[in-house]
Structure 1
């Protein structure tokens, strides 16, 4: 048993709404507090001196620093951190004026990463995933969604998902895999887009399920990837197989977001080009709207309209989209702070978007600090938690607690 603290503030995020706007005064903040952890779970939380007396035999942890604040550990609910290769050439083309789609048509883009990832061994991919995961963990991110999608054939998609599964054995963070065979139709596939999706449904997806590699799947609904009609067919077929579906939607054109809601997908991710009619469909929907500001920054395009989505009672999450092409930054807190400032999101809304609302996008029980929860919380120096966002990524956590482990950064 361990007693952590004392902390100037603990922001528990407990009891807040899953949908719509949040104001800072609604945040549940416990002051001069501590957290008791036993067997990896939160046993108690409250005033530090009361806990000190109640759990006299508990080991005291983090007592040295006078001013500390605590928030739930962060959750990055959309990443592509399983990849090999380098896309600096794409970046140079993009900042010289070429569009994302123009770069792809010129032979760059996703297929460049596909070729490099296919050439990598599973062990090499594990090393690369682990390095990126540890970078996120150092930011206070304890749960990371990781997609395949740079294999695009049976052997290489399975290799990617096996690498993600293996990496889980080497990190304190929790990796949640997503099968993204429907990223694009690879150039070396002989057949139509429909035949490629049928190949995924009939040959690849059953193997993914058989090996227990993923229960989530994703599809890129966009020009140059898969149109609305084909995507709807794929979503429904994959749901029949038992997959939870999510969608890359409305990044460059609209239509995918409405499809995601109408077909019961658990999230619609990107949404930079979502139209006003589609925004209204997210009102109290179980489909989470995931903003990916890293892609907006990387491509020099508009941010997801989070303010409009929140005002229409959507559940809004924020993730990095960390990938080698459009979003190479990989810094969740900096990106969340920047889009929060641009979209006039309150600190409460921004923190919710990278904690419990992000957890809901993955359908995991996390993102709060309450009795009975698995212990996942992050510690910062200071006496005001708002400085975490005020510094826009420049204030780094000192420790992240995951289960019975206290990780010093």
Structure 2
């Protein structure tokens, strides 16, 4: 006897290398887990509750594996400046950019941060997201970084969603520190103090961020604390971030607009996932796209994420990223949809979700579309008909 069955549905299971489509299928659960998946005609037994999906498509619950969801304020004024020709890098070097959000975030309480983030989270959940990663990085001191991580975890208590937190203290250098002194502060003070609230450690390795050597030091300290690592890599130039992430066995390296083929091959060999963030490239008008051909050749897994943040991607839609990934980067429909399901799960180190298969967590997203390609095709609108999280309708 199953606890629940979702039937009269078409399934995109993500099995194999494609979408793993099963037409006229069913999904059955026991407790929080999937117990059976297959054609409806082969359903082996009854269930306590049966849900007729009326021909909807069921995908694994969507996973947004790279967000900066918790912050205070906005950067609309900087957006106006960029429209006049001022660059993102120029604003950052003038003390704006990330440091502008740092000032606003330090002035906010933990409760205020969580309340401000809730509408952003709601928008993503409404599109079928069941797991989300949330970074810190707008505090740059122990008290605020910790408050951001706690606020992120509050969101997981306020809504039916799995929240994974990443400590991004190595995001920028705050006033009053040299770069070297701040990295020492991150390693000696912020990492050990904030570690209980973090599921992973991230860093920004780029020409307006931190050097490879500084990033190595942060990652060594993180791994000594038992925390996996992730990396903002090669967004604005090629500093060898892809290879650095691979050397540390990182869960993911994200952005990668300027990553070289050798670094991507090293990621593939290490099992590090390439997280593509087309919304950021679009918003800052980046014309140098990631080398998708080299990623395909190397076999590195490609994920997609919203990168929602106040400066370079104020986008509250993961479905939009499916379209941007296909139109800007020329991903296939299967690559895009696997990028927000099974490959996004791998980018967070969560092997228990991202596919429809027995034994995995019963996180489902239901969509009222005629074929999965519509999720990548439409710009705007939301065809999500419901979510299931841990076997329960959400």
**For the superposition of Structure 1 and Structure 2, which TM-score range results when normalised by the shorter chain?**
over 0.9
Shift of 1:128: 1.9
Match of 1:40 in 2: 32
Shift of 1:165: 1.7
Match of 2:194 in 1: 208
| Residue 275 (str. 1) matches residue 266 (str. 2) | no
Selected match of 1:221 from 197, 205, 217: 205
CA distance in 2, matches of 1:384, 1:224: 42
CA distance in 1, matches of 2:154, 2:19: 37
CA distance in 1, matches of 2:130, 2:344: 12
Length-normalised TM-score, structure 1: 0.90
Alignment of 1:88-167 (within 5 A): 88-167=76-155
Match of 2:309 in 1: 323
Match of 1:54 in 2: 45
Shift of 1:293: 0.7
1:185-213 per-residue CA deviation (whole Å, 9 max, x = no partner) reads 101x3x3212211111111211223xx20
Match of 1:369 in 2: 356
Q: CA, structure 1 residues 372+277, in 2 after alignment: closer, same or farther (shift >3 Å)?
A: closer
Length-normalised TM-score, structure 2: 0.94
CA distance in 1, matches of 2:101, 2:190: 20
Selected match of 1:195 from 155, 167, 181: 181
CA distance in 2, matches of 1:384, 1:223: 42
1:151-207 per-residue CA deviation (whole Å, 9 max, x = no partner) reads 1111111111111122211111111000011101101x3x32122111111112112
CA distance in 1, matches of 2:331, 2:380: 16
1:273-321 per-residue CA deviation (whole Å, 9 max, x = no partner) reads 2233333333333111111111101100133223321222111111111
1:6-65 per-residue CA deviation (whole Å, 9 max, x = no partner) reads 11x201113x3xxxxx5xxx43211111112232221222232443x720x5322235x3
Q: CA, structure 1 residues 336+304, in 2 after alignment: closer, same or farther (shift >3 Å)?
A: farther
Selected match of 2:387 from 400, 406, 409: 400
Count matched residues.
Answer: 389
1:259-286 per-residue CA deviation (whole Å, 9 max, x = no partner) reads 1112322211111122333333333331
Is there any run of 5+ residues in structure 2 with no aligned partner, and where?
none
Match of 1:342 in 2: 328
The question of whether the paired residues in 1 share the 8 Å contact of 2:245 and 2:267 is answered with no
1:335-365 per-residue CA deviation (whole Å, 9 max, x = no partner) reads 1222223333221111111111110010012
The question of whether the paired residues in 2 share the 8 Å contact of 1:282 and 1:314 is answered with yes
Match of 1:19 in 2: none
Aligned CA-pair RMSD: 1.7
The question of whether the paired residues in 2 share the 8 Å contact of 1:293 and 1:304 is answered with no
Selected match of 1:391 from 366, 378, 388: 378
Match of 2:270 in 1: 285
| Residue 169 (str. 1) matches residue 154 (str. 2) | no
The question of whether the paired residues in 2 share the 8 Å contact of 1:307 and 1:343 is answered with no
The question of whether the paired residues in 2 share the 8 Å contact of 1:32 and 1:48 is answered with yes
